[in-house]
Amino acid sequence: MPWIEECIILKIIYYCHTGKYGALAAAGLHLNLIHENISYEELVSFFNKYDCPTLTPSFIGNDTQGVSVYALGTLKESKLINKIVTSFKTTFCTDGSPLLMIDALPHVKSPLNIILPLLSLNWFNKLGDILLPYLVWQNISVISSQVYNHELDYQYLIMDNSGDEKGWINCLR
Amino acid sequence: MALLLKFIIRREIGMNIVYHCFGGAHSSVTAAAIHLGWLSPNKLPSKEDLTKIPYFDWQTKKDHGIFRFMGKDEFGNKVFFIGRRYLRHDFETLVYGLAKMYGVDSKEILLINTMPYINWMMILGGYLSRRHGIVKIGRPIVIKGVQHSFFRYVALVERVKKFFI
């Protein structure tokens, strides 16, 4: 199976539409820097450690398999940004390293749903910076399951042909 | 010496010039076509001249966010266009951030915003043609709009060629 070698994911970008918080939490969960049962204060101190400007991919770390994990915060147009990132890679990058874009918050619980559309308003940013860490903390299980699901996908993609049937079935699913 | 060498190498490899606007259907495509010499800078283009340009009045919402290659200019630079909707300056931040992430020299990518020369006819015509698919009404309006701003796009492209390339 020579194609499996080409499927190795070298870069993962977690993106969200909360400015930075959702993507940072997902990257932290991926790299085991934080865990699902983290307290609110611990999560806030984790966010404060990283300067992650909006719309700038920020390198958070490498995982145990050498995959580079990035966080990309957006406030609006997250689907469009996903397309731009993918198109940029295929158009301007010649290294051929695969890229996986993962939405950190595809399904969020209220009241984050109500708050997020307001983020594109500049006056809301300061209030958003206070509310969002808390709301992301409330949604940490959603983010965690998203990270876990995608981690399974790419684990199956990068594993060698060891004859693990379950792995191959998931890979082909 | 090193600077001269770098300049020569850049001239040899060429830059990536990206014209960007809201939908990537009219203003950025027109500017890219002028850059590539497909439209004469001295003559107002006719309806036929404009509709002959590849991708003119073609992109819809699903095509936004994709870098489209138009061609290579006389210096060997690759010319692209893209529709980036409301991102404006955020688009530039994102692209240069991605360039840094991938180790691409940000000086190799030149982003040109064509939105300042948009007029109301291009907005109305583009909205009817691209958003609602009413091409019969929208396209003639947008063509009038492009013709109205055409020499502004010529001046923009001339500035790009003079100062950046």
- Could you report the per-residue pLDDT of A41-80, keeping only the tens digit for each? 999 999 999 988 889 999 999 988 888 999 998 877 888 9
Q: A55 to chain B nearest CA, in Å? A: 5
Q: Are B94 and A77 a contacting pair at CB < 8 A?
A: no
Whole-prediction pTM value?
Answer: 0.84
In angstroms, the CA B34 to CA B155 distance is: 10
For Cα atoms A9, A12, A13, give the angle at the middle one, nearest 5 degrees: 155
In angstroms, the CA B52 to CA A36 distance is: 57
- pLDDT at residue A163 is higher than 80: no
Q: Are B91 and A84 a contacting pair at CB < 8 A?
A: yes
Q: Are A80 and B98 a contacting pair at CB < 8 A?
A: no
If one counts every other C-beta atom within 10 angstroms of the C-beta of residue A13, the result is: 26
pLDDT of residue B50: 96
Residue that is written with structure tokens 């929208």 in the block: B138
Chain A residues in contact with B99 (beta carbon < 8 A):
92
Residue that is written with structure tokens 């990132």 in the block: A85
Best residue of A69, A87, A92, A119 to probe chain B, by most B CBs closer than 10 Å: A92
Q: Are A53 and B102 a contacting pair at CB < 8 A?
A: no
- pLDDT at residue A151 is higher than 80: no
Residue A123 — pLDDT band, cuts 50, 70, 90? low
Identify the H or E element spanning B74: none
Chain B residues in contact with A99 (beta carbon < 8 A):
none
Q: What is the mean pLDDT of chain A?
A: 78
Residue A146 — pLDDT band, cuts 50, 70, 90? confident
Q: Chain A: which residues have CB within 8 Å of chain B?
A: 11, 53-57, 59, 70, 76-77, 80-85, 87-89, 91-93, 95
Residue from the list B66, B101, B104 with its beta carbon closest to the beta carbon of A57: B101
pLDDT of residue A155: 63
Q: Which residue of B has its CA nearest to A83?
A: B65
Q: Are strands A58-62 and A68-73 parallel, antiparallel or unpaired?
A: antiparallel
In angstroms, the CA A151 to CA A159 distance is: 12
Which residues in chain B land under pLDDT 50? 2-6, 9
Query: Which of A30-34, A81-85, A159-163, B16-20 is the least confident region?
Result: A159-163
Task: Output helix, strand, coil percentages for chain B, rounded to the nearest 5.
Answer: 55, 15, 30
My answer on whether omega of the bond before B45 falls inside 30° of 0, hence cis, is no
Q: Are A80 and B104 a contacting pair at CB < 8 A?
A: no
Chain B residues in contact with A93 (beta carbon < 8 A):
102, 104
Chain A residues in contact with B93 (beta carbon < 8 A):
53-56
Residue A5 — pLDDT band, cuts 50, 70, 90? very low
> Higher confidence at residue A152 or residue A101?
A101
Chain A residues in contact with B65 (beta carbon < 8 A):
80-84, 87
- pLDDT at residue A2 is higher than 70: no
N-term to C-term CA, chain B: 19
- pLDDT at residue A109 is higher than 80: no
In angstroms, the CA B99 to CA B18 distance is: 14
In angstroms, the CA A26 to CA A147 distance is: 6
Chain A residues in contact with B80 (beta carbon < 8 A):
91
- Could you report the per-residue pLDDT of A15-43, keeping only the tens digit for each? 988 888 999 999 999 999 999 999 999 99
pLDDT of residue A171: 36
pLDDT of residue B137: 94
For Cα atoms B79, B81, B84, give the angle at the middle one, nearest 5 degrees: 150
How many beta-carbon pairs below 8 A join chains A and B?
66
Task: Give the CA-trace dihedral at B135, B140, B145, B146, to 10 degrees.
Answer: 80
pLDDT of residue B10: 52
Identify the H or E element spanning A145: helix A140-158
Instruction: State ipTM.
Output: 0.89
Q: Quick one: what percent of chain A has pLDDT higher than 70?
A: 69
Q: Are B109 and A92 a contacting pair at CB < 8 A?
A: yes
